[in-house]
Amino acid sequence: METEFFIFCLVGFLAQLVDGALGMAYGVVSSTVLLAFGVPPAQASASVHAAELFTTAASGASHAWQRNVDFKLMAKLAPTGILGGVVGAFVLTSIDGDTIRPFVLVYLGLLGVFLILRTFRPFPTKPVGARVVMPLGGVGGFLDAVGGGGWGPIVTSSLIGAGGQPRYVIGSVNATEFLVTLAISVSFVAAFLSGHWEEAGALTDHLAAVGGLIAGGIVAAPLAGLAVAALPTRALTGLVGTLVLLTTAFQTVQILT
């Protein structure tokens, strides 16, 4: 039990450090490790989102303190992100979330390549319109709930690719993620209490992992806000694209083996 706690404490620290600095990775990395330990997809997603209630609150507060949050962008993302997350949690507790994962990986892989290529071209400075932001929030929330991670890779990557400034996109997406995570977590609890989610009882077997993810993530969150404020736009965008490709490749290998 203690060994599992410290392993996931390290996982949570590294994942949150990257997530806070680049706007993605905590859910993807944490879910991938949980799945590697044999945790079923629905339980892995519920465990990660339970941990993210604490880490996203700490990360969002850090970004707000560092003035990385665009509250207008956050107001556009939150409503559809919450709705998508609630629907995704209901779907995941009804069917196997692995069915949709290959399609998400193809999308993320292409997006990673696109972002790396964007580092060699001038960056637009105009804000991303609501016609892009609101549907994207819904898709990101849905896939985040279904896959145990995906809000950051999909929303952050897409907004930066559409011309958003990385510093404010990353800060705003991180801050919004707390609201989306809260909605998803409440949905999992509701599914359990209503009897819709019959396999939820085994969640208590993974308390050490969840505790480790929370502890490590909270320690790393303040450091991430400083990192994103200091890194230049091109460096952030290149790192985002590289991270998307690496996490996509890792999960693809897991599916194929």
Q: What is the pLDDT of residues 32-58, one digit of tens each?
A: 788 777 777 777 888 888 888 888 888
Question: pTM of the predicted model, to two decimals?
Answer: 0.79
For 145-170, how does the pLDDT look when each residue is reduced to its tens digit (9 = 90+)? 887 777 887 898 888 877 788 888 98
Q: In this structure, which amino acid lies at residue 241?
A: G
Rounded CA-CA distance 232/190 in Å is: 42
Q: Where do we find the tokens 């230049």?
A: 232
Q: Quick one: tokens of 137?
A: 């929030």
Break the chain into its structural domains and give their ranges: 2-256
Query: What single-letter DSSP state applies at residue 154?
Result: I
